[in-house]
């Protein structure tokens, strides 16, 4: 198998570098900005975490619905790139505005728009994997996307971090430094997408033209679900994915907010999450390499078990060094579990209807993220303790692991 990446594979990976910069901001700087705005407005720590969780849940639910409505239509000839571009542009514009908002409610609203833009673009970006590479190379290319996304996103993030932490030295207010940092991320994200937009060609598409009516779209989604259920390995994997990715996404999106709730300082939070990106880079590549020797499904099982241990450890977390240690542990499995799940799924689905199936794949992922953040939000607000909500993730991860181990052997494991 050829090991050198093609130009198109590199351009596809480059978009991971761009959107990962925004995703890193979502995990690090953006929650801190939001919680500081909310705190200055008199909102309690537990309530601000709950509101942040609700915002994440709203954005993921909306994208899940959009994925349902547009998934089958995007399988038409030359449609993927158009939908991908629209969502990417909306996300970049909203990201650029975030740093100039002083109201925590307005900040949360614009963030939801930016999150929808990013997550929506990724639906169509993921489905492009079937066009830009082969089944044999999908694990390596998908892992490369996450790996280079982690390390590449550190470049604008470090510039932003230096700007924010040294705002006074540069003669800037904290608010202006934050505004500039969000613009830097938005520009980085936009520029990284241009080579893919220019060079991507949709090779696999459906000749069926779907009507624009809502009833026809819903009918098409039901047909897709029926096709998935007929494929037992695919159906069990989808159910497993729903549960285990729930824990993964929730940990990624609420790590910073949880860290602040247990008393970890802003600087420690930001630097620890930066370390996560650096450590995740080699491990994503390592797992991609291991997929040549070990079944992909077995590697995913290892990652899920790792996340179970991570959640158990986080329940007693109350020191900065423990958060740093936890960040490294997350980094080991974070890129691997996402990239291997993506490539494993891409080998199970029919190529001409990849976006149709990736739309459902995203529904399961976004539905899981919605469930996890909602559970955290509700249990945290009811109990006044973030740890109570976090403990519920263990159940979801265990169920996901049990289902994953019951997936029948199939050609995707070769």
pLDDT of 136 reads 79
Q: Which residue has the higher pLDDT, 114 or 134?
A: 114
Over residues 278-298, the mean pLDDT reads 86
Q: How far apart are CA 389 and CA 397, in angstroms?
A: 14
State residue 152's pLDDT score.
87
pLDDT higher than threshold 60 for residue 193? yes
pLDDT for position 414: 47
The pLDDT of residue 153 is 86
| Closest by CA position to 94, among listed 105, 78, 106 | 106
- 369 vs 150, higher pLDDT: 150
Task: Take residue 384 and report the two structure tokens written for it.
Answer: 């006044």
- Lowest mean pLDDT across 11-25, 234-248, 276-290, 378-392: 378-392
- Residue 46, SS3? helix
Give yes or no for residue 210 having a pLDDT over 80: no
Distance of alpha carbon 61 from its chain centroid, rounded? 14
Mean pLDDT of 155-177: 84
> Taking Cα atoms as reference points, which of 6, 106, 90 lies closest to residue 55?
106
For residue 300, what are the CA distances in angstroms to 343, 345, 363? 11, 12, 20
pLDDT in tens, 94-106: 999 987 888 899 9
How far is the C-alpha of 252 from the C-alpha of 246, rounded, in Å? Answer: 10
Q: Is the pLDDT of residue 53 over 50?
A: yes
Please say if the pLDDT value at position 213 is more than 80.
no
What's the whole-number mean pLDDT along residues 243-261?
Answer: 74
What distance in Å separates the CA atoms of residue 377 and residue 381, rounded to the nearest whole number? 6
**How confident is the model at residue 1, as a pLDDT?**
45
Specify which of 56-65, 128-137, 219-228, 288-297 reaches the highest per-range mean pLDDT. 288-297
Q: What is the pLDDT of residue 74?
A: 59
Q: How confident is the model at residue 270 (pLDDT cuts 50, 70, 90)?
A: confident
The reported pLDDT for the residue numbered 43 is 85
* pTM for the structure as a whole: 0.72
**pLDDT, the chain, mean:** 81
Q: Are 335 and 306 a contacting pair, CB within 8 Å? A: no
DSSP reduced 3-state for 201? coil
Distances (CA, A) of 86 to 89, 92, 93, 184, 394: 5, 10, 11, 20, 37
Given a contact cutoff of 8 angstroms between Cβ atoms, the answer to whether 332 and 307 are in contact is: no
pLDDT band, residue 112 (cuts 50/70/90): very high
Task: Quickly tell me which residue has 């978009």 as its tokens.
Answer: 15
* pLDDT at residue 280 tops 80: yes
* Number of C-beta neighbours around residue 69 at 10 A: 16
For residues 293-316, average pLDDT? 89
The b/e string for 270-289 (b: 16+ C-beta within 10 A; e otherwise) is bbbbbebbebbbebbbebbe
Percentage with pLDDT > 70 across the chain: 83
CB 406 within 8 A of CB 233: no
Question: H/E/C letters for each residue in 324-391?
Answer: HHHHHHHHHHHHHHHHHHHHHHHHHCCHHHHHHHHHHHHHHHHHHHHHHHHHHHHHHHHHCCHHHHHH
Distance CA 357, CA 27 (A): 28
Per residue in 348-389, pLDDT (tens digit) is: 777 666 666 776 777 677 666 667 777 777 777 777 766 777
């Amino acid at each position: 198998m050829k090991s050198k990446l093609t130009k198109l594979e590199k351009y596809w990976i480059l978009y991971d570098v761009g959107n990962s910069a925004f995703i890193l901001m979502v995990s690090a700087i953006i929650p801190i900005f939001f919680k500081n705005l909310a705190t200055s407005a008199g909102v309690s720590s537990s309530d601000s975490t709950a509101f942040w969780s609700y915002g994440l849940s709203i954005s993921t639910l909306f994208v899940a619905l959009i994925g349902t409505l547009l998934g089958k239509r995007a399988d038409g000839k030359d449609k993927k790139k158009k939908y991908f571009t629209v969502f990417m542009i909306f996300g970049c514009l909203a990201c650029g505005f975030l740093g100039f908002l002083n109201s925590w409610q307005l900040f949360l609203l614009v963030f939801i728009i930016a999150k929808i833009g990013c997550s929506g673009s990724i639906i169509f970006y993921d489905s492009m994997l079937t066009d830009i590479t082969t089944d044999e190379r999908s694990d390596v290319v998908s892992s490369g996307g996450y790996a280079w996304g982690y390390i590449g996103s550190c470049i604008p993030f470090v510039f932003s971090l230096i700007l924010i932490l040294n705002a006074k030295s540069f003669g800037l207010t904290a608010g202006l430094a934050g505004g500039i940092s969000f613009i830097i991320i938005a520009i980085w994200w936009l520029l990284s997408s241009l080579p893919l937009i220019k060079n991507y060609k949709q090779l696999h598409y459906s000749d069926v033209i779907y009507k624009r009516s809502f009833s026809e779209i819903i009918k098409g989604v039901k047909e897709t679900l029926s096709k998935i259920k007929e494929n037992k390995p695919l159906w069990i994997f989808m159910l497993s994915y729903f549960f285990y990715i729930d824990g993964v996404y929730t940990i990624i999106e609420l790590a910073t907010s949880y860290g602040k709730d247990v008393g970890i300082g802003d600087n420690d939070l930001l630097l620890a999450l930066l370390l996560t990106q650096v450590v995740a880079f080699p491990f994503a590549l390592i797992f991609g390499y291991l997929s040549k020797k070990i079944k992909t499904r077995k590697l995913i099982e290892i990652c899920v078990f790792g996340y179970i241990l991570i959640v158990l450890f986080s329940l007693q977390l109350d020191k900065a060094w423990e958060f740093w240690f936890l960040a490294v542990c997350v980094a080991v499995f974070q890129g691997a579990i996402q990239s291997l799940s993506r490539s494993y799924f891409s080998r199970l689905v029919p190529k001409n209807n990849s976006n149709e199936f990736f739309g459902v794949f995203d529904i399961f992922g976004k539905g899981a993220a919605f469930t996890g953040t909602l559970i955290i939000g509700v249990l945290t607000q009811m109990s006044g303790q973030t740890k109570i909500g976090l403990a519920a993730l263990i159940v979801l991860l265990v169920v996901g692991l049990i289902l994953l181990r019951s997936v029948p052997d199939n050609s995707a494991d070769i």
